[in-house]
Structure 1
Amino acid sequence: MAHATPRKCPTFCSERNNVERFARAFYRERMAEIIPLPTKMRPSREPEPRPSREPEPLWRDALGDRLRRLRHERGERLADTADRAGVSPQYLSEMERGLKEPSSEMIAAVAGALEVTLIELTAGVVDDLRTRVAERAAVGCRTTFALAA
């Protein structure tokens, strides 16, 4: 089998190259030139270390803690509350452990079964979150004072 020899480019190739050169020149003349902006370059390419901080608690975790606390205050079993709310005990357990991201309808059903309003439940969760933030800040201050001493 004979190998085909590469053919020379017909004349239209050179015309196409001329068109490409013309297009680049046209672009440079009429369009804005891209100028790289100066940036702060650190000597090493390693990212700056961020101060380590504890992640904020998720809403579903705080909600689950609050639901469990309300259920325990009433002295109820998981199955009793779940039955009145119309959810399975497994689902309520997952809500309380922060494993589920429940819909507003599910939250309302469980709140109703615990005889609290959505506003009372939400306000309680917000208070819990604020308390956690204040406790973390206080621990941070104590650590700073201990290091300074």
Structure 2
Amino acid sequence: MSNQAPLDARVIPLRPVPVPARPARTGRPAAPPAQDPVPAAPTPKEPLWRDLVGDVLRRERLAQERTLKDVADTARISMPYLSEVERGRKEASSEILAAAAQALGLGLGDLLSRAQGELVRVTGRRAPVSRGTARASHDGLCLAA
């Protein structure tokens, strides 16, 4: 007996194999299976809010040349938790965001406004303007709980 594995291994596909359509019972041959449409270019993925807020916090902290420990101590947040917020790993509460923003000399509104500006910049689009309606010229941000 050989210790080598057999050459005919069982392959488990990662995607389900399409099942061919059943022929109609009309006596006519079944239509050929439909070709898969050409895949469209992937749409850019919308960034997560926690990533945007974390980026703003980190950029501001680095711009002030402050350490993570310094900001965490001032905000009364654990240093590992603030690090996770900055990296977008944690979805911080409004209290945590307000404390981190205040420790950096920002208001919560400033933090959220900068994150919203980053969202607009990254996605490169604004809300569509409906015909016949005048769009107010504001870049407000509304969060609801």
Q: Same fold, TM exceeding 0.5?
A: yes
Matched, 1:95 2:111: no
Which residue number in structure 1 is paired with residue 56 of structure 2?
66
Quick one: which of 103, 108, 113 aligns to 1:113? 103
Matched, 1:76 2:66: yes
- SS of the equivalent of 1:132 reads helix
Deviating 4+ runs (over 6 angstroms): none
Matched, 1:53 2:43: yes
Gaps of 5+ in 1: 1-42, 136-149
Structure having the larger proportion of residues in helix: 1
For 1:119 and 1:84, the matched residues in 2 are separated by: 19
For 1:90 and 1:101, the matched residues in 2 are separated by: 14
Distance change (3 Å), C-alpha of 1:49 and 1:67: same
- SS of the equivalent of 1:105 reads helix
Letter of the 2:68 counterpart: L
In the superposition, the TM-score normalised over structure 1's length comes to 0.57
Count of residues paired in the alignment: 94
In the superposition, the TM-score normalised over structure 2's length comes to 0.59
Quick one: which of 104, 116, 125 aligns to 2:115? 125
- Identical pairs, percent: 44
1:50: Cα distance to partner?
4.5
Gaps of 5+ in 2: 1-32, 126-145
- Let me know the Cα RMSD of the aligned residues: 2.2
Any idea what the Cα deviations from partners look like across 1:32-75, whole Å, max 9, x if unmatched? xxxxxxxxxxx639588443122111000000000001101111
- SS of the equivalent of 1:92 reads helix
